[in-house]
Structure 1
């Protein structure tokens, strides 16, 4: 019934424009004859007629008000009163218009076309293509400026009325009336795969292919109220399936026009090129080819090195040389043995460090997974807000503390091993080779991952958010790759941070290069050195406190979902969180712990039982309070106080450093008990060797997850944990491939070169002589039994 309204609206719109046009040309005779036939026969328009008339309607500029005025003329299930139509017909004969009938390259085909029934649902078109939808879509298509896009839009509308399968799929793939808006559902993704699979090339003429666009719709704010950090704000992501010829600008115009017919012009729409995706032939750049060439080159080396070692093992050839060691360093057999080996160096009692590293990395990956899950498409935005307010879930929110744990361990190990070397060499130690080879060991695998971001990352999948996330990451890496390999990207080009987690590598490297100054002072001046490092710790506590107090910053990185849709664009993350001067405290605490443990083992000092009880009690209290106190800042009743924020940002790092310091010291001196045994568990040793590579590749896993997600996720504690576990497994799997291919071979070469140019090697195997064994606290034997 309502579809017949379109023909009447054509006539009325033309009549309404009579006064304004005042021209002496008559309406296209073919159109007039066709309308007269309908008027005289008093019948309902079929879809073939509407396929042409809908084009004429938009050309004549039908207005919604005109349609409303004549809606009462429709009677008797689609049949129009003959007298009224006759009068309208007579009036239409004298109507003049300057708008010619639109030229259709395929209009003759439409006239001959037969209505194609849909097997699954014959009445589908008549049930979904309502007059209101058709008129709004027609007007929206007419507003498109690009000619090719507009013509394909007309073809889409005609295809709807003719029950064309591809047109119905294009309409079906777009998001319809939103569901759950009041529930916090802000992602309406339609059907991505159905849209991009559309390819209408059967009728000849114009070929229409599907293009999936995810528009950003922003609702107007009624008034400036108190900042609300929970929920998803006033933004809605809306999927629309359009012809591939349409640019982002045209899609923006189309969506804006549709919304103006439904909710008015109060909303703003944004569609960028990254928001649209269509299946196109794979394009390969010279950089892509170069990256593949590098990968193939390493693959060939790995293959021949593996064959070489296999030959040596099979024929029992045990002859070794520097050249042999260099070749075997690339062998998969050699590196797999090295990776899965559970052997540890027991000369210093630092076996627990491997367990701490492994567990810390597991929870860091879980924290990243939670962040991407919460900030991605979800059904209930408030579900995440409920989780973060629950004190028991605070361990998921303190991801920054676990990153600080790695900084602590990095400083601790460097200080402990360098002090031993200074003792052995009586202070005559050239640290430059150590710094250079450290850069060589870390950078190659890092560069491989960066190059992957710059080349093939956007090409490995597809999804509603794929272009938005992956192309953005690629652009950032193309802009700032040099800052990454110079390890200054936490201060330079922070708006274009390549790899959101790469800031840690810059912080660690910068502190690693200045750490020898503090370590040497601790070794050279037994009294001044500890005072110097203590003053440095105090300064490191004051700096973030002053910055936080002065700028009214958060006490730490707070994981509100709507603020981390793109973590790199988060103000606190890019301006304060990733800066080295905000991370000094835990690193200096690690240096101090390394020095204290060195003196304890050097003097073979034994702790009293009372001291152990006091130390464990203090450590547990500080660690627990530091971990769970962050939930206070997420509560609804909490009001921001810059003094509290300043106190927290500084003191919680000191408390965490003390807790970690005692844990490492207790385990190294045989006072770790069952916890020490757990952290020294041999199963954790292989995983600890993968922590660096896991940190590098975790961003790929997280980006891939959110980029390919087809439907919003229902957030519960179970779904978050289940997804986090899958992310952990995938991350360590990819880390294994990266480790065997790049990190482990480079590490092996570094050891060989260090033995040649910087003996004795500063590594996990540095201490093997009897004197070092004696210097270790004899209480460690209790831990080993």
Structure 2
């Protein structure tokens, strides 16, 4: 009993001594604010909270120091759990991401580890480590390990104030102060614009739910036909169209559904990889080695899928245009160009506009994590500042200021659509009697834009916009060539010798495989000449291969490839492809922003991760399609009724341009 009493007295005395020393430290530092000083005096009496702050902060020596990512995120959730009322002082945990940095000499690392064992006492270890690291903090070279760490502190203090009192680092560090600190109450209030955006989204969703219920009631009770407004917003009506499968419609080119769906999946995989390897990784050094392998192109070559989309866009526009403007004069075609552009704008904007509103309004309330605020700020900064570029579809001219990087494609595609009549109208004049001239003109234009793409980097040596429009026009023009070919052969039976067909398929796959594999050579060992030539030339070649696949499949020579590309699942996936493209980056950003600790990179992990991105994006895209895309058709119909043109002329315009 006496021994326990003695131990109790020793612990009590030690605690009192430590508390007195702690209070003395706070009193001695005159540069801290009043709120921080009050909290620190309270913390001197609560060593358990101080330990939590220390335990949730980044360490200097940890496993895999020379192998893992140099960024350490601490323990966000442990820090956020601190919410203590001590007397009249409330203390919250405040997490500060990447607030300090240091450099460790690789050659001295073993000495540092040994020193921590030899000098177990705080002051001796501190002196030893400072001696080993002195002079290396600001020297950046390959012999140093560059580290950045995060800290957990009380909400009334800054990292500098907290460290000034408690000397939380046993080694010299550089304060970074790159990111703001957060508590569990940070960024949880909506500003007036954010609240308005959230309300707008909620109104649309409630309208969809209400119209769906009304439609279901009408349908199953045989009450009668509902009006177009209810039908347009009804998820029941739009969902039926979404899952409908067409098998015998000769006017549809079903293999394009598979190309569109596979392309968007490839794009999701590519964007998923690019963002995943930017996270702090347990095996950070492995990613560079992985990129050097040819087989890694199954993800890294996803850029080719973007050119497939440009090809499909140019093809469908031309094929549909030529089919609908038969026997229309040049004047009639010119007259409806503004309306055509308006319809295109209305077709694209609702879904991407809803994504924009969600991103800049209530998205910040839907998650948290050590990277959350940094990622949300990254999204909000350009979207809030340059929203007008976003909605006018020309933000790809400003590659450093993009609101959601993937939407550069929408800007480039809209710009090509706007200028497409400059090519389409001459085609309608010449196609009947001068088809060779039409084809020669399109091929010449393609070669011209390939030349422009090659020349610009040499004319403007500092030009580096990878999201420009001119370099993608060649893919669009190959699609237009395909549209002309299909239009002239519409309704005809095309005979292709089986041997010739097989040879062309082999050549097509060989060329596509070569382009994919050579892309690895260009990215791993880049030169200006190699990158410029390959970037300009591969696009029309790739799209020509896609054109052959479409042509052969449509005319019955695609075999198992056509069966795969034309199946019902691909038809449904193709209808979701636009919303998938719009939304998948937000899904990826959400996943990255909620990361808590180091991640592991491998092919299996990437496939598993991309599968999660795809599944989540599909579910979200179904909702987005039913809520924001479906009603677009109804709005377009109402637009024609609103236009004050003569009835007969309005009918003609509708027939001409009712969604190509």
Give the TM-score band, short-chain normalised. Answer: 0.7 to 0.9
CA, structure 1 residues 331+582, in 2 after alignment: closer, same or farther (shift >3 Å)?
Answer: same
Q: 1:238 aligns with which of 149, 158, 168?
A: 149
Q: 1:545 aligns with which of 435, 439, 454?
A: 454
**Are the counterparts in 1 of residues 73 and 370 from structure 2 also a CA contact under 8 Å?**
yes
Paired residue secondary structure (2:572): helix
Map of 1:188 onto structure 2: 72
Map of 1:46 onto structure 2: 14
Q: 2:596 aligns with which of 671, 689, 710?
A: 710
**Are the counterparts in 2 of residues 585 and 654 from structure 1 also a CA contact under 8 Å?**
yes
Map of 1:518 onto structure 2: 423
Map of 2:121 onto structure 1: none
**Are the counterparts in 2 of residues 143 and 253 from structure 1 also a CA contact under 8 Å?**
no
CA, structure 1 residues 757+224, in 2 after alignment: closer, same or farther (shift >3 Å)?
Answer: farther
Greater RCO, CA 8 A, separation 6+ = 2
CA, structure 1 residues 464+522, in 2 after alignment: closer, same or farther (shift >3 Å)?
Answer: same
Residue 623 in structure 1 maps to residue 512 in structure 2? yes
Paired residue secondary structure (2:94): strand
**Are the counterparts in 2 of residues 501 and 699 from structure 1 also a CA contact under 8 Å?**
yes
TM-superposed CA distance for 1:532, in Å, is 2.6
TM alignment of 1:394-413, pairs within 5 A: 394-413=297-316
TM-superposed CA distance for 1:549, in Å, is 5.0
Map of 1:561 onto structure 2: none
TM-superposed CA distance for 1:151, in Å, is 4.1
Q: 1:486 aligns with which of 392, 398, 403?
A: 392
Paired residue secondary structure (1:394): helix
Map of 2:438 onto structure 1: 529
Q: 1:146 aligns with which of 33, 54, 57?
A: 33
Paired residue secondary structure (1:208): strand
Deviations along 1:602-637, one digit per CA (max 9) or x if unpaired, are: 6654334454234222211111111122222455xx
How many angstroms apart in 2 are the aligned matches of 1:696 and 1:224? 41
Paired residue secondary structure (2:149): strand
Deviations along 1:572-600, one digit per CA (max 9) or x if unpaired, are: 9xx41111122222111111121122223
Q: TM-score, normalised by structure 2?
A: 0.84
Map of 1:287 onto structure 2: 193
How many angstroms apart in 2 are the aligned matches of 1:549 and 1:464? 43
Q: 2:571 aligns with which of 659, 679, 685?
A: 685
Map of 1:649 onto structure 2: 535
CA, structure 1 residues 761+274, in 2 after alignment: closer, same or farther (shift >3 Å)?
Answer: farther
Deviations along 1:77-122, one digit per CA (max 9) or x if unpaired, are: xxxxxxxxxxxxxxxxxxxxxxxx66xxxxxxxxxxxxxxxxxxxx
**Are the counterparts in 2 of residues 455 and 474 from structure 1 also a CA contact under 8 Å?**
no
Residue 724 in structure 1 maps to residue 610 in structure 2? yes
Map of 2:228 onto structure 1: 325
RMSD: 3.0
**Are the counterparts in 1 of residues 325 and 656 from structure 2 also a CA contact under 8 Å?**
no
CA, structure 1 residues 621+258, in 2 after alignment: closer, same or farther (shift >3 Å)?
Answer: farther
Map of 1:296 onto structure 2: 202
How many angstroms apart in 2 are the aligned matches of 1:461 and 1:470? 10
Greater CA drift, 661-670 or 280-289: 280-289
Map of 1:367 onto structure 2: 270
**Are the counterparts in 2 of residues 213 and 277 from structure 1 also a CA contact under 8 Å?**
no
Deviations along 1:41-66, one digit per CA (max 9) or x if unpaired, are: 9999612122112343x47xxxxxxx
**Are the counterparts in 1 of residues 201 and 357 from structure 2 also a CA contact under 8 Å?**
no
Q: TM-score, normalised by structure 1?
A: 0.71
CA, structure 1 residues 345+541, in 2 after alignment: closer, same or farther (shift >3 Å)?
Answer: farther
Deviations along 1:625-656, one digit per CA (max 9) or x if unpaired, are: 11122222455xx4x43222222111211221
Number of equivalenced pairs: 601
Residue 386 in structure 1 maps to residue 289 in structure 2? yes
How many angstroms apart in 2 are the aligned matches of 1:660 and 1:55? 74
Q: 1:578 aligns with which of 452, 467, 474?
A: 467
Greater CA drift, 648-657 or 273-282: 273-282
CA, structure 1 residues 308+534, in 2 after alignment: closer, same or farther (shift >3 Å)?
Answer: same
TM-superposed CA distance for 1:158, in Å, is 4.7
TM alignment of 1:111-190, pairs within 5 A: 142=29, 145-160=32-47, 164=48, 166-179=49-62, 180-190=64-74
Q: 1:666 aligns with which of 521, 529, 552?
A: 552
How many angstroms apart in 2 are the aligned matches of 1:271 and 1:344? 60
Paired residue secondary structure (2:150): strand
